[in-house]
Amino acid sequence: MPIYEYRCGSCGHDIEVIQKLSDDPLKDCPACKAPTLSKQISAPGFRLAGGGWYETDFKTGQKKNLAEKGGSGSTVTGTTGGGADT
């Protein structure tokens, strides 16, 4: 599920909420209770780990094959396409 960022138009309070794509947007600010929340535009953050085109084709020099050298972070060990959970 995606993480949405909201900002209150009254008090400026920022919150992050995990919601389904089908959920209605939040309206009421948890801090001041005003119905002035609006969704903010933000970029998703992710890290590609393991082997693949992003590791072998686009890195040069010492940056190449960091996954094999035990770079920090978690790794994904195989997934099968089964569709999204709802």
Instruction: Tell me whether residue 83 is in a domain.
Output: no
pLDDT single digits (tens) 11-42: 999 999 999 889 999 999 999 999 999 999 98
Which range of residues forms the domain containing residue 25?
3-39
Instruction: Tell me whether residue 22 is in a domain.
Output: yes
Instruction: Tell me whether residue 71 is in a domain.
Output: no
Number of domains in the chain: 1
| Owner of token pair 């920090």 | 72
- pLDDT for the residue 43: 82
9 against 20, higher pLDDT: 9
Instruction: Tell me whether residue 23 is in a domain.
Output: yes
∠ Cα 21 18 40 (to 5°): 80
Average the pLDDT over each of 8-12, 15-19, 63-67 and give the range with the smallest value: 63-67
The DSSP-derived string for 10-62 is TT--EEEEE--TTSPPP-S-TTT--S-EEEPP--------SSSHHHHTS--GG
Instruction: Tell me whether residue 74 is in a domain.
Output: no
